[in-house]
A and B are shown apart, each in its own frame.
Chain A
Amino acid sequence: MLTKRIIACLDVRGGRVVKGVQFVDIVDAGDPAELAHRHAEQGADEVVLLDITATHEGRGTLLETVRRAAAKLFVPFTVGGGVRTADDAAAVFDAGADKISINSAAIARPQLIGEIGASFGAQAVIVAIDARRGTKGVDDAEVFVSGGRKPTGLRVVEWAREAESRGAGEILLTSMDTDGMRDGFDCELTAAVSEAVQIPVIASGGAGSAAHFADVFGRGKADAALAASIFHFGVTSSRDLKAQLASVGVSVRLPC
């Protein structure tokens, strides 16, 4: 049976893993390569590395960090941040990434999704969407770019559909409202996106307990869920989390 995926996310700034609360406060959490390995050993189904400052500072992705992290990582490895062109993507794949996550660059030039897909396959392209609910809640949830700094005027569900039609392999949906709060995912918004597209949806933002994951896999209809801060400070490991999920009937990869 296809299992629900637990994805460990490393938010990297200046070569170190950090974790923001609602995209702003930053706390240092360690070396990306080391943490990537530790997550894989502790049962994460995938590892994502997001260079959270790459876009607005105009830097390229930290290829050396990617190379180091990828060297002994034998689970799927996604890298995001600073990928603006198919050439940028090629360099990231060359450094050892299996998938790239694009956000601002896909909004600026949606053709980029198809261009990267044409060379590396649709499965290698994740379109990341940073979303904030509007006054009407889920219905007018809006897409933000540049690390949550700029509103785009795009509706989340419409943009997810367009990303799919342009060849995205997966959607990584981060709720800016719930991110870093450890108070649960935005299940309604996740379900709205998951129902609108055929491709897998990865829920992100708000993980604080196993119950939150069970909720987003159930009510939120997510195919995978991502968490960062919940793991880094030893709150729990993916393996513990999965054992708890299995006990309430969620299908997960165990043993791992």
Chain B
Amino acid sequence: MIVVIDYKAGNLTSVVKALRYLLGEERTAREVVVTQSPDVVRGADKVVLPGVGHFQSTQLLEDLGLTEAVRESIAKGAWFLGICVGLQWLFEGSTEAPGTPGLGTLAGMCEHFPVLYKDVELKSPHVGWNSLEQIRPNSRLLRGVADGSFVYFTHSWRAPVVQATAAVTNYGGAFTAAAERENVMGVQFHPEKSAAIGLQVFKNFVEL
């Protein structure tokens, strides 16, 4: 069972749509569950945390008891995929909402893009198609995705490059575009909006 967590933060519809496209109508009806229930999350084989928007919105996860449920689910070995804010939530937190801690599975804080990079003004948000670089060859999430492949981003805060980083993207310096540590995975870009490359990422996750 693939559980997609609904915490009222953005494009849940698009994520489910991509899963439906890959799995077909019947398997989707059977295997994909959209939920806010911690118990359902505890029973999942795979958990997807979508999200686009403000880090503050992840506070609802704590309020609904979902943070603990995700923690337990990951500890039991369920595969986890965080998207956009869902990736950032894997870190300790974000300067976007200092009072709202992240899951803390990955070390470090998410920060706003710098206003200036190499003395040139940097526009933000970072919106559009940018390339994945330094893809870790053994990444399961990015299997079949070549260095230089383009994916779609839209965000103003970014996660630091850490040991679990599976691919970086450069915009005002390098940031984590994908992270992967054992069963915990996350992508800053939107696979549901990244055409064939995005669908490949979902396919990799679904087939784990």
Q: Which residues of A contact B (CB under 8 A)?
A: 1-5, 40, 45, 70-72, 74-76, 93-94, 96, 98, 120-124, 169-170, 198-200, 223-224, 253, 256
Pick from A3, A70, A76, A224: contact of B150, CB below 8 A: A3
Does B171 have its Cβ within 8 Å of any Cβ on chain A? yes
The reply to whether B195 and A198 form a contact with Cβ atoms under 8 Å apart is no
Q: Which residues of B contact A (CB under 8 A)?
A: 9-11, 13-14, 17-18, 21, 52-54, 123-131, 150, 152, 154-155, 170-171, 190, 192-196, 198-199
Shortest CB–CB separation between residue A27 and chain B, in angstroms?
Answer: 29
B150 proximity list for chain A (CB < 8 A) = 3, 253, 256
The reply to whether A169 and B127 form a contact with Cβ atoms under 8 Å apart is yes
A198 proximity list for chain B (CB < 8 A) = 123-124
Pick from A1, A75, A121, A223: contact of B123, CB below 8 A: A223
B198 proximity list for chain A (CB < 8 A) = 74
Report how far A70 CA is from B15 CA in the complex, Å: 12
The prevalent SS among residues of A at the interface is loop
The reply to whether A96 and B17 form a contact with Cβ atoms under 8 Å apart is yes
The reply to whether B54 and A121 form a contact with Cβ atoms under 8 Å apart is yes
Pick from B52, B53, B127, B131: contact of A200, CB below 8 A: B127
The reply to whether B17 and A70 form a contact with Cβ atoms under 8 Å apart is yes
The reply to whether A2 and B13 form a contact with Cβ atoms under 8 Å apart is no
The reply to whether A74 and B199 form a contact with Cβ atoms under 8 Å apart is yes
Report how far A253 CA is from B170 CA in the complex, Å: 15
The reply to whether B13 and A94 form a contact with Cβ atoms under 8 Å apart is yes
